[in-house]
Homo-oligomer: A and B are copies of this chain.
Amino acid sequence: MSSRILVVEDEMPIRDMLVFALEQKGYYTLEAETYGEALDKITEPYPDLILLDWMLPGGSGIQLAKRLKQSEFTRDIPIIMLTARGEEEDKIRGLEVGADDYMTKPFSPKELLARIRAVMRRAAPTSVEEMIQVQGLKLDPVSHRVTANEDGLDMGPTEFKLLHFFMSHPERVYSREQLLDHVWGTNVYVEDRTVDVHIRRLRKAISAHGHDKMIQTVRGAGYRFSAKV
Binding site for B on A (CB under 8 A): 85, 88, 91-92, 95, 98-102, 104, 106, 108-111, 113-114, 117-118, 121-122, 142-144, 152, 156-157, 171-173, 177, 180-181, 186-189, 218-221, 224, 226, 228-229
Bound-state Cα–Cα, A143 to B108, Å: 36
A189 B111 Cβ-Cβ under 8 A: yes
A118 B224 Cβ-Cβ under 8 A: no
Q: What residue in chain B is nearest A158 (Cβ atoms)?
A: B220
- The answer to whether A228 and B152 touch (CB under 8 A), given A157-B219, A187-B118, A221-B157, is yes
B144 A173 Cβ-Cβ under 8 A: yes
- The answer to whether A189 and B156 touch (CB under 8 A), given A142-B173, A173-B143, is no
Using Cβ atoms and an 8 Å threshold, which residues of chain B touch A108? Answer: 95, 99-102
Partner of A157, one of B88, B143, B220: B220
A181 B110 Cβ-Cβ under 8 A: no
B88 A106 Cβ-Cβ under 8 A: yes
Using Cβ atoms and an 8 Å threshold, which residues of chain B touch A189? Answer: 110-111, 113-114, 117
A100 B110 Cβ-Cβ under 8 A: yes
Q: Closest approach, in angstroms, between the C-beta of A98 and any C-beta of chain B?
A: 7
Q: What residue in chain B is nearest A91 (Cβ atoms)?
A: B106
Bound-state Cα–Cα, A228 to B157, Å: 20
B144 A188 Cβ-Cβ under 8 A: no
Q: What residue in chain B is nearest A161 (Cβ atoms)?
A: B220
Q: Closest approach, in angstroms, between the C-beta of A109 and any C-beta of chain B?
A: 7
Bound-state Cα–Cα, A188 to B143, Å: 26
Partner of A122, one of B99, B114, B177: B114
Q: Closest approach, in angstroms, between the C-beta of A97 and any C-beta of chain B?
A: 10
Bound-state Cα–Cα, A221 to B143, Å: 10
A104 B121 Cβ-Cβ under 8 A: no
Q: Closest approach, in angstroms, between the C-beta of A78 and any C-beta of chain B?
A: 11
Using Cβ atoms and an 8 Å threshold, which residues of chain B touch A144? Answer: 173, 218, 221, 224
The 15 listed contacts between A and B (C-beta, < 8 Å) are: A88-B106, A95-B108, A99-B108, A100-B110, A100-B111, A101-B108, A111-B189, A117-B181, A118-B186, A121-B181, A143-B171, A143-B173, A144-B218, A144-B221, A152-B228
